[in-house]
């Protein structure tokens, strides 16, 4: 392992501005270095693993628990969440009475997994719950009056919303008018006022002090299910003829929804994902097994596979196809049906990728024209007639990554007066709060979300006003975020140092994702043996040190970007390259690989 001779205050390897415009910084300061040394010594673990732990706030006192997280240690008493006891009681009454329950979910992975988890538990308790997922185009997000009326007309006596409902005042008021209870399980930010419901379980409601606001909806659903099972046990519901549902065996669903909703992988979320990945590797769930087969995965599933391979396939149904496909896949017990749904989702995902590629090209062109030669707006708002609403969030994500600021993509149907959009934000800028304030101000028809992502509906005539509003509302936060924007480097190493055993050791600090970033390593003054464009705009490289060792690398979607350009034109010049390590299983023989996320030209080279 190499160390950088510069102090923590100076740019790592002298990189004050990389090809992506970032300053490289050592993740550890002097106190962090001391903490890493202490962790390595006290717990007898490799130095590099100790550095990664220290860089994520782990101390000598917390290292042991961090390395072996457990649900038991991290999980709160479910009753800590406001209204959870009321929700459990209403559900327990419905179970005892054999009521007709409809689970009303969102059309993304978090919604599908939440719906499937609650369905599994209620079915194990003897009910036959129905799952209803609204159509993204014709119904939009969350409960609507027409759907509520239809569900009640068809016999539902209790409606449980998952991953939605906390802003659905009109729809829930309609349910109350018709004498049907609604239990809301959600995690999106709320205002002071809440819609009428028998219970609203949401750790982000303003009167909740549980401290569980990082949970995805599927995590909240897990806590509700735990509270329900506990209450039914207290009521003597379970026995030899009806055993308690095994909630921990459903952690495969919790891990999938948690990773795909990009919530911070800290505390309970991290335990959910780590234990959920173990459950998934031993799962007998036909839907997940069929999806893994359709995706062609041969290696053990990790968090990256959830977020980038399995999750997008489930999302594809809600984006451009039948929104209920994901929940149906996750709840079916029929292997043939699971295989058929998985194949359909795979096909829809390929179609989605093609639609997304075309929209991203248009959006980048629009954004570059808006930014021009100046620093550009605080937030990018790209709007276009004919974009598919289902890919708006993906387009916003690409814009955010490319331009380093919040981005919103809005799709207008031809000649429609209003459009729907999705936004993605950067660390330090609360986009959800900004969107809710725009709704309160009358600029948006509706909208909501959380700090890093939001959805909205807007009248075409108010686009210019909305752009100006974002400049005023988010400008200072965005400028501050961009000033501090940098790439934190955990350590420097040579290509030969990226070994399989090292990658295996680092897994103890995972699973990695939002809130628990994968360690980033710098490869100083390495040369590229080759560089080529492969797949959908990825750049594949061979990274070589003077010792002769070569490390395979891949820069995803880098073709046509500053990073891709410098990799493809580096020739024999040395480059500082930064990236995360993974295992490439292509061809059946595992090899180390670096996922390239940045590069810089060393001082003295042109």
Distance CA 503, CA 579 (A): 13
Q: What are the phi and psi torsion angles at 173 (to 5°)?
A: -65, -35
Would 12-27+490-600 and 373-486 be classified into the same CATH topology? no
Q: Across the chain, what does the average pLDDT equal? A: 93
347-350 long-range contacts (CB < 8 A, ≥24 apart) are 348/313, 348/316, 348/317, 348/319, 348/320, 348/321, 349/312, 349/313, 349/316
Residue 139 has a pLDDT of: 82
In whole angstroms, give the CA distance from residue 473 to residue 477.
8
Which secondary structure element, helix H or strand E, spans residue 579, and what is its range? Answer: strand 575-584
First to last CA, the chain: 27
Cis peptide before 209 (omega within 30 of 0): no
Residue 14 DSSP symbol? G
Pairing, β 538-544 against β 158-162: unpaired
Q: Rounded CA gap, 44 and 508, in Å?
A: 13
pLDDT at 5: 42
- SS3 category, 537: coil
Can you name the residues that pair with 579 across neighbouring β-strands?
521, 596
Distance from the Cα of residue 75 to its chain's centroid: 21
**Backbone angles phi and psi of 117, in degrees to 5:** -65, -50
| pTM greater than the 0.85 cutoff | yes
Q: Where are the beta strands (DSSP E) in 61-202?
A: 101-105, 130-132, 158-162, 181-185, 199-201
Q: Nearest-CA neighbor of 504 among 110, 44, 46?
A: 46
- For 318-355, write each residue's pLDDT tens digit: 888 889 999 999 999 999 999 999 999 999 999 999 99
Token pair 């969440």: residue: 81
The contacts of residue 282 (CB under 8 Å, 6+ apart) are none
- What pLDDT, on the 0 to 100 scale, is given for residue 138? 82
Neighbours of 62 (CB within 10 A): 12
The CATH code that applies to domain 373-486 is 3.10.310.30
Residue 15 — φ and ψ, nearest 5°? -85, 95
**Dist. CA 142–CA 159, nearest whole Å:** 12
Task: Scan for tokens 């010792």, then name that residue.
Answer: 547
> Do residues 371 and 388 make contact, with C-beta atoms less than 8 angstroms apart?
no
Q: What is the CB-side half-sphere exposure of residue 108 using CA atoms within 13 A?
A: 22
Question: Is there a contact between 2 and 491 (Cβ–Cβ < 8 Å)?
Answer: yes
For the structural domain made of 12-27+490-600, what CATH number should be given?
2.40.50.460
pLDDT score at 4: 46
At 579, give phi and psi (nearest 5°).
-175, 180
CA nearest to 164, candidates 439, 448, 444: 448
**CB count in 10 Å sphere of residue 122:** 22
β-sheet bridge partners, residue 161: 104, 184
When computed from its CA atoms, the radius of gyration of the chain, rounded to whole angstroms, is: 25
Query: Which residues 6+ apart lie within 8 Å of 536 measured at CB?
Result: 353, 357, 557
| Residue matched to tokens 């896949």 | 329
Cβ neighbours of residue 580 closer than 8 Å, sequence gap 6 or more:
512, 518, 519, 520, 521, 594, 595, 597
Low-confidence ranges of the chain (pLDDT < 70): 1-9, 372-374, 547, 604-606
In contact, 553 and 596? CB cutoff 8 Å = yes
| E strand spans, 22-127 | 23-26, 101-105
pLDDT digits (tens, 9 = 90+) for 498-518: 999 999 999 999 999 988 999
Kindly report the backbone phi and psi dihedral angles of residue 105, in degrees, each rounded to the nearest multiple of 5, phi listed first. -110, 175
CATH number of the structural domain 73-249: 3.90.1640.30
Rounded to the nearest angstrom, the gap between the alpha carbon of residue 286 and the centroid of all alpha carbons in its chain is 24
The full set of domain ranges for the chain reads: 12-27+490-600, 73-249, 373-486
Q: What is the DSSP string of 378-402?
A: SSEEEEEET--GGGHHHHHHHHHHH
Q: In this structure, are strands 446-450 and 453-459 parallel, antiparallel, or unpaired?
A: antiparallel
Tally of CA atoms within 13 A in the half-sphere of 2 that contains its CB: 19
């Amino acid at each position: 392992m190499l160390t950088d001779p510069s102090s923590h205050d100076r740019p790592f390897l002298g990189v004050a501005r990389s090809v992506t415009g970032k300053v490289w910084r050592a993740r550890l300061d002097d106190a962090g270095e001391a903490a890493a040394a202490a962790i390595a010594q006290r717990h007898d673990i490799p130095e590099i693993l100790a550095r990664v732990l220290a860089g994520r706030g782990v101390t000598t006192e917390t290292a042991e628990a961090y390395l072996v997280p457990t649900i038991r240690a991290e999980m709160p008493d479910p009753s800590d969440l406001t209204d959870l006891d009321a929700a459990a009681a209403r559900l327990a009454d419905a179970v005892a009475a054999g009521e007709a329950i409809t689970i009303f979910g969102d059309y993304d992975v978090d919604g599908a997994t939440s719906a499937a988890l609650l369905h599994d538990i209620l079915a194990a308790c003897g009910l036959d719950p129905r799952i209803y997922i609204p159509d993204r185009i014709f119904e939009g997000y969350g409960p609507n009056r027409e759907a509520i009326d239809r569900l009640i007309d068809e016999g539902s006596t209790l409606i449980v919303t998952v991953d939605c409902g906390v802003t659905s005042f009109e729809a829930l008021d309609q349910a109350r008018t018709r004498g049907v209870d609604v239990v809301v399980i959600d995690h999106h930010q709320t205002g002071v006022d809440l819609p009428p419901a028998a219970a609203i379980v949401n750790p982000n409601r303003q009167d909740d002090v549980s401290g569980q606001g990082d949970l995805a909806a599927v995590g909240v659903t897990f806590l509700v299910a735990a509270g329900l099972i506990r209450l039914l046990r207290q009521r003597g519901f379970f026995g030899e003829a009806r055993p308690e549902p095994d909630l921990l065996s459903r952690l495969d669903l919790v891990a999938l929804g948690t990773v795909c909703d990009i919530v911070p992988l800290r505390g309970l979320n991290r335990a959910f994902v780590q234990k959920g990945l173990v459950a998934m590797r031993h799962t007998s769930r036909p839907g997940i097994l069929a999806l893994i087969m359709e995706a062609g995965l041969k290696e053990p599933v990790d968090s990256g596979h959830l977020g980038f391979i399995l999750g997008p396939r489930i999302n594809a149904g809600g984006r451009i196809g039948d929104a209920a496909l994901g929940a149906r896949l996750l709840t079916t017990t029929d292997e043939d049906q699971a295989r058929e749904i998985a194949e359909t989702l795979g096909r829809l995902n390929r179609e989605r990728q093609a639609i997304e590629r075309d929209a991203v090209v248009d959006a980048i062109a629009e954004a570059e024209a808006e930014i021009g030669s100046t620093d550009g707006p605080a937030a990018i708002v790209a709007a276009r007639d004919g974009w598919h609403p289902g890919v708006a969030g993906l387009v916003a994500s690409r814009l955010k990554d490319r331009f380093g600021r919040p981005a919103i993509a809005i799709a207008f149907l031809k000649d429609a007066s209003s459009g729907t959009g999705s936004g993605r934000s950067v660390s330090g800028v609360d986009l959800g709060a900004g969107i809710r304030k725009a709704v309160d101000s009358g600029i948006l028809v509706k909208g909501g979300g959380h700090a890093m992502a939001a959805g909205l509906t807007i009248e075409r005539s108010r686009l210019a006003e909305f752009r100006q509003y974002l400049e005023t509302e988010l400008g200072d936060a965005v400028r501050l975020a961009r000033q501090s924007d940098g790439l934190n480097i955990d350590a420097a190493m040579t290509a030969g140092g990226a070994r399989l055993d090292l990658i295996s050791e680092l897994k103890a600090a995972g699973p990695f994702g939002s809130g628990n970033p994968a360690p980033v390593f710098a490869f100083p003054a390495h040369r590229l043996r080759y560089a080529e464009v492969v797949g959908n705009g990825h750049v594949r490289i061979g990274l070589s040190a003077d010792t002769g060792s070569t490390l395979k690398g891949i820069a995803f979607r880098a073709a046509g970007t500053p990073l891709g350009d410098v990799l493809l034109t580096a020739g024999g010049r040395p480059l500082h390259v930064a990236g995360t390590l993974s295992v490439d299983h292509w061809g059946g023989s595992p090899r180390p690989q670096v996922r390239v996320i940045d590069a810089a030209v060393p001082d003295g080279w042109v």
